[in-house]
Amino acid sequence: MIEIELNGVLHPVPDAHNLEALIASLDLAGKGIAVAINREVVPRQQWPQRWLQPQDRVDIVRAIGGG
């Protein structure tokens, strides 16, 4: 296991865990989200190739409609 910071909270994830797997494990796939790792936005098409590293800071934001 490694530990990342997920939206400001320490969160354990399995070794060799990519961003796509993290999003799926949080049940957020297809829910209009954007993800940044260490303050750099990661485009959705790169999620399968972006492997999480110990101490990565992952921020997930969700689009909310309104007016």
DSSP structure string for 2-26: EEEEETTEEEEE-SS-BHHHHHHHT
Could you list the residue range(s) of the whole structural domain that residue 35 is in?
2-62
Which is nearest to 20 in space by CA: 39, 2, 37? 37
Rounded to two decimals, what is the model's pTM? Answer: 0.90
Residue 67 domain-assigned (yes or no): no
User: Which amino acid, residue 13?
Assistant: V
Residue 19 CA from chain centroid, whole number: 5
Which domain CATH number covers 42?
Answer: 3.10.20.30
Pairing of strands 9-13, 2-6: antiparallel
In tens, the pLDDT along 7-48 reads 999 999 999 899 999 999 999 988 899 999 999 999 999 999
Residue 44 domain-assigned (yes or no): yes
Alpha helices, DSSP H, located in the chain:
19-25
Query: How many structural domains is the chain composed of?
Result: 1
